Every structure is written in structure tokens, then in C-alpha cells.
Structure 1
């Protein structure tokens, strides 16, 4: 007689967060322990919008941690082309190695914003600025850690989540339960698509850990960035169990109409669709970021 066997427990990676209070962004270093392979998810390049100057303080903290633990950086993963911070992916790759990856629908975002910013004739909208474009359901390994890519559009057409063992890095698709969900009013955003993406994430096992890219805590709460599927299903103010698609879309549409644009959207997007690279310098040797007037 064959006795039933229990399902294997999912791998539980080590998740080391680095919170940037200037952009409310959380960068993650994900690994299996000291001396193992690692990924960095959503790294931040410091940018001062008043002076136009960049710095690498945030990324240096991440790099120092990777070196201290003797980790081998294999991937620098972007959940989407961020609108609230510039990516430090190229700087980290130059310091530590690894490959820069993002979802394959980044090409849709590039096509839209190449027009918005009237980018140079040589700008490519095929995603070739990145080392790899991930398709929905693609799997790969980082050492002993299994990774699955989940396409979760809605906030942008290119948003992906990375499932690493029992942990899922959801980007802006979900926030902490008392904050809700991402906005859908950027070019290519779609509240119906976001609802479907959230329900896909919340269909994962209830104990699955969910790590958000940003936290905007209500007054009196400290910054948090980790929840579970069960917590989100019970308490997310926008999409807890029992909230249907029509109700969610109506709420999201009303709310988005009241939101201001993120402070760094204009510099961030035109850099992040280039995999974090700056635009090519002009004839005088200086790099310029464009500010389209009355275009958004």
C-alpha cells in the first residue's frame, strides 16, 4: 500500500530589505545564505530634482551588503519601469556583475514614452537595453533558489512579479493592506487588468510572503514592506475578498483622478526605459533629461 506523501515545502529564501526614505522604495537582496548566488530587485539611484545631480549612496549600501556576505550577484531585476525613482541597475552591474532583467512588455512602454519625450532617432524600442526580457511563466534558478516570472499588468503594461520560493516581489501591483493597490492612470495602465493581476497573486497559497516595492504608511504607522496572501485577502482596503471587479475599477478610477504625478516621474521614466542608463550626451558632452511641457 502506498501512503500519501505531503507536498514539499517551498524554498524559503533570505530577503534583506533596504528602504530609501527619499523615494519610499524598498530594494531587496535575495539569496540562500552567505556565499550563495543572489539577486537584487528594484535598486535605487539617488537623484536630486533641484540640482539634477545623481549619487550612489543607496546602491552602495546594497553593494556593501552583497560583498560582506560574499554573495555572487547573478541578476538585477526590475519589476517595471518605475516612475518614482531612477534605477541603479547599471551601476550595480558594473560593480558586482550580473544581468539586468525586466518583463518583455517593456517594449510597449518604450514605444509610448519614446513619443512622449521625443527621444533621439537612435533610441531602440525593442528592449535591447536590458540583458534579458522575461516572458510570463518563465522560470530560472539563482543557485538553489527557483524563480518564476508572473506578468501582472495594470499599473503599467510591463509589470512583472518575481516568485522566489515562498516569497513574491510584487512591485507596485500591491501595497501594504492599509494602503491598497497601485494607480492605473499612467499611459498603458488599466484598472481591469490590475484587478485580474491582483487576483492572480492572491490565488497563491495563503502563507506566501508578499514584498512590496514601496510603502506610504498612514500617519502613526512605521514603514512595512512584507505581508502574506492571507493578510491581503482579509484586509487590503482596495481588493480584499468580496470586492468585485466593477467595484474595484470604479474606486480606482475615482481615486486616480485625484492623484498628483510622482515628483520624479519625468526623469525616472526616460532613464528607466533605458535599463537605468542616462540619455547619450549631446555635442557639448553634457547629458540632458527632457521635461515635456503640457504633454501629460
Structure 2
């Protein structure tokens, strides 16, 4: 068994971490949670972030086997489809994405023919599924809470935990999106932190303004120092802290735009008669925060 080489790519505008990991023995690798750039003021998309990942893959000599998303993101667009078009690598996400598609189909009032079967991806992973990237074994853990579809990829000694945990000094991620649950998040965190102490935990975001952005801590470091976990809270105690914090947070500024892209697997909505794609905003569905 090999442990992967992990390279993180920081996107400052969205506070997002993207990853490329590869097996050093076979040079086979995967991309996790790539960002498609979006300027909300101009309504303009671009591929600068995705190009950075692609350049690294090519310069390092990695054979790309997968383009993986951990969940349909609310704070950035997925670049999975653009990267698939450049490389031919298949895309994947967790099987419960179909529930997110059905939920947001209603919120956006999408037509009945909008596919809510996950067919926008090449593979839907269920809890416990296993595959290999070169000699690196990868196990899928269903990790709901932040969203109802979130999964964790445990690749060798590296766990890509998406928006379940933050860095230890920031705690954990919010659970107040449609389909989210602080109770489910508590159980997901407990499962992740039951992995071996030396497991490297790679997070999806970092927002701490007083230091440089970070992305990695071990399971042992989270159990010892994570501000939402170090005192071994009960489920009720954790939920009280998480729910109180979530009640103070505004919705992500890109949420209503991003979910339209991400429930389509990173595709823009189908172009209209003028050849241009358009986004819909459901007025007054959510209350102002």
C-alpha cells in the first residue's frame, strides 16, 4: 500500500482548498473539489484555478484517474466538467447527491425533465465503496451534516473531509443549509476522528484571518485541539454550539448561483436561444440574514 503525495491549492476569493493527490509509485492521481472561477459582479466564469491544477498534473507527470467532488458546493462552482473535457478523466460524487438535486429542483422550480438521478457524473459512490488510485486504496465514508450528500475520501493515510471539519482553531463547518443537520454532522465528525491518530485530515475551507491559510492537521491534533471537539462534547452539547453559531451566519454569497451549477455536475444551465446560459434567483425563498 502507498500513501499519497498531496498538493493543496488555495483559492482566496472563496476560501476554498482544492487538492491533487497521487501515488508516488505509479504516478496515478486524482483531483478533489476543483474550483471554477466566478465573478458575481460580472457574471463571468473562468478557469484559472482549474488550469493551475491541470498544469501541476501535467508538469508532475501524473496520470489523472478521477475528478472527485465531496458534495455539491454552496460557495464555489465545480470545475469537474471542464477538467474532464481537458483530460478525459471520469467524474464522481456521493450517491446521495440525488437528494440534493431533488431538493434544489424544487427551490429553483426546474422542469420535471431535469435529471435528478445523478447521471451528470460518471460514478456515484456509496458509503463503504472502495477503489484504488494506483497503489493507494481509497475508501468512501458517507459524512452527512454539512449537506445531506457529503462524503469523505480516505486515500491511504489522507482523509479529504470536505466541509465537515475546519482547521482545529476554527472547529467544524456549518450545518444550516437545506438538507443539513447538526446531529448528522456530530456523528460524521465522530467517525472521521475514529480514524488512526496519524491520519492526515485535509479540509475544504479555511477562513482564519489572523494567519496564513492552512489545510492539514492529523486526527490526533483534531482530537486534542479542535475547538468544537477537544472537550469530548455530547451530541446535545455539540449541537447547541453548532446551531447557535449557524444562527448568526449569513448565507454564502454564491450559494444561489453555485447550486445551479453544482447539481449539474459542474455544467452551466442549458444555453437559451441566444446561445447564452442564465442563472435563476428564487426571490424570497430564503429569509434575509
Deviation, 1:33, is: 2.7
Which residue of 196, 217, 222 maps to 1:205?
196
Is 1:72 matched with 2:63? Answer: yes
Does residue 222 (structure 1) correspond to residue 212 (structure 2)? The answer is yes
Partner of 1:7: none
Instruction: Say if 2:222 is the partner of 1:262.
Output: no
Q: Distance in 2 between matches of 1:198 and 1:262?
A: 22
Moved over 3 A (4+): none
Q: Does 1:246 align with 2:246?
A: no
Contact map agreement 1:35 1:69 (CA 8 A) in 2? no
SS of the equivalent of 2:36 reads strand
Report what 1:169 is aligned to. Answer: 160
The equivalences for 1:2-151 within 5 A come to: 11-33=2-24, 36-151=27-142
Please tell me whether residue 233 in structure 1 is matched to residue 232 in structure 2.
Answer: no
> Are the aligned partners of 2:26 and 2:134 in contact in 1 as well (CA < 8 Å)?
no
Match of 2:170 in 1: 179
Match in the other structure for 2:284 = 294
What RMSD, in angstroms, separates the aligned Cα atoms of the two structures? 1.1
Task: Provide Cα deviations, 1:257-281, integer angstroms capped at 9, x if missing partner.
Answer: 1100111101111100110001101
| 1:284, distance to aligned residue in structure 2 (A) | 2.3
Structure exhibiting the larger radius of gyration computed from Cα positions: 1
Please give the TM-score of this superposition, normalised by the length of structure 2. Answer: 0.97
The TM-score, its normalising length taken from structure 1, stands at 0.94
Cα distance in 2 for residues equivalent to 1:189 and 1:166: 28
Task: Determine helix, strand or coil for the equivalent of 2:161.
Answer: strand
Q: 1:176 to 1:273 in 2, by over 3 A?
A: same
Q: Give the unaligned 5+ runs of structure 2.
A: none
CA distance in 2, matches of 1:180, 1:294: 31
Alpha-carbon distance between aligned partners in 2 of 1:179 and 1:247, rounded to the nearest angstrom: 17
Cα offsets for 1:75-115 (capped at 9, x unmatched) = 00001000010000011111112111000000000000000
**Is the contact between residue 149 and residue 162 of structure 1 (CA under 8 Å) also seen in structure 2?**
yes
Q: Which runs of 5+ in 1 are unaligned?
A: 1-9
Distance 1:34 1:64 in 2: 20
Give aligned pairs, total: 286
